[in-house]
Amino acid sequence: MERMERTERVARPARTESTAPPAPEEIAREWRERAERDGLARVMRAQQPPEIAEAVTAETRQTLTHLLKRAGHELPQGLGSVVEVGCGIGRLTPTLAAAAGRVAALDMTPGMLETARTACAALDNVSFHQLRAQDLRPEDFDRLVGGPADVTVFVWVLMHLLDDAELAALFRTLAVSTRRLLLVEYEEAAIPVGRFSRLRPLAHFLDLLPDARVIERRDLYYGGDRSFAALIDTGLIDTGLTGDAD
């Protein structure tokens, strides 16, 4: 299995707007408004042509399928439980459900969750929950999947968690609550990101998980931007049994 050095090249940060960070209530309002858009524009760039969003979504599904299969081969009991943080409208949830025994899909925005529930109504191994990423605690994993998750998935979600202290607290939770972490995040942006996003390289996230190692990394390209897709072993030491709620 591939091990990546912590000295990996750090991408040059993209330019951001020189405005004050948005307050929590402003962030919540922004996502409520996005939930009112049509189609993939609710969770992807509204200014991009729909065919680009559809192509990127298809490629992302293929990448997730590959990395989840890799995770399942490595875990002693296979891939039993997945926690999807920031499920949005559920565009990727069926891909996760096809690979895992059960999926707990989380989002903070009621409108997004309503759409996701409708889109995934035929999936009997998926449950939906309203919860912010930064509010996740180990006891939530106990409640959602009966213990540590086999894989926790973030797809272009952590870029919207702007506060470094909240991000660090989240990763302390992940260190004791998930065996594998699957991250998809922007690393280089051709289009400057706005007030509701912040780019961080993979090295930044690895520094928050001292015992982590990268199992596999792939690159994704979207409208001139480059993202990484990384499957990470968090270093969690437990019985190796798959979490499962009663």
Residue 1 has pLDDT above 50, yes or no: no
Q: Among all chains, which residue has been given the structure tokens 């509010």?
A: 135
d(CA 181, CA 184): 10
Q: For 73-92, what is the mean pLDDT? A: 95
Residue that wins the pLDDT comparison between 238 and 179: 179
pLDDT reported for residue 42:
55
| Domain positions in the chain | 24-233
Q: pLDDT grade, residue 187 (50/70/90)?
A: confident
Q: pLDDT grade, residue 246 (50/70/90)?
A: very low
For the stretch 208-211, contacts whose Cβ atoms lie closer than 8 Å and that sit 24 or more positions apart, written own/partner, are 208/167, 208/168, 208/171, 208/172, 209/171, 209/174, 209/175, 209/181, 209/234, 209/235, 210/235, 211/175, 211/235
Q: pLDDT grade, residue 191 (50/70/90)?
A: low
pLDDT tens digits for 13-48?
A: 444 444 677 787 777 777 576 766 776 655 666 667
Residue 4 has pLDDT above 60, yes or no: no
Reference 231, options 216, 220, 211; nearest CA is 216
Which spans in 49-132 are helix H? 50-74, 93-99, 110-119
Reference 44, options 56, 29, 32, 58; nearest CA is 56
- Quote the CATH superfamily of domain 24-233: Vaccinia Virus protein VP39 (3.40.50.150)
Residue that wins the pLDDT comparison between 2 and 235: 235
d(CA 215, CA 54): 28
Q: pLDDT grade, residue 236 (50/70/90)?
A: very high
pLDDT tens digits for 202-230?
A: 999 999 999 999 999 999 887 678 899 99
Look at 8-17, 80-89, 112-121, 236-245 and tell me which has the smallest mean pLDDT.
Answer: 8-17
pLDDT tens digits for 87-146?
A: 998 999 999 999 999 999 999 999 999 999 999 999 999 999 999 999 999 999 999 999
Look at 36-40, 65-69, 92-96, 188-192 and tell me which has the smallest mean pLDDT.
Answer: 36-40
Q: pLDDT grade, residue 165 (50/70/90)?
A: very high
Mean pLDDT of the chain: 85
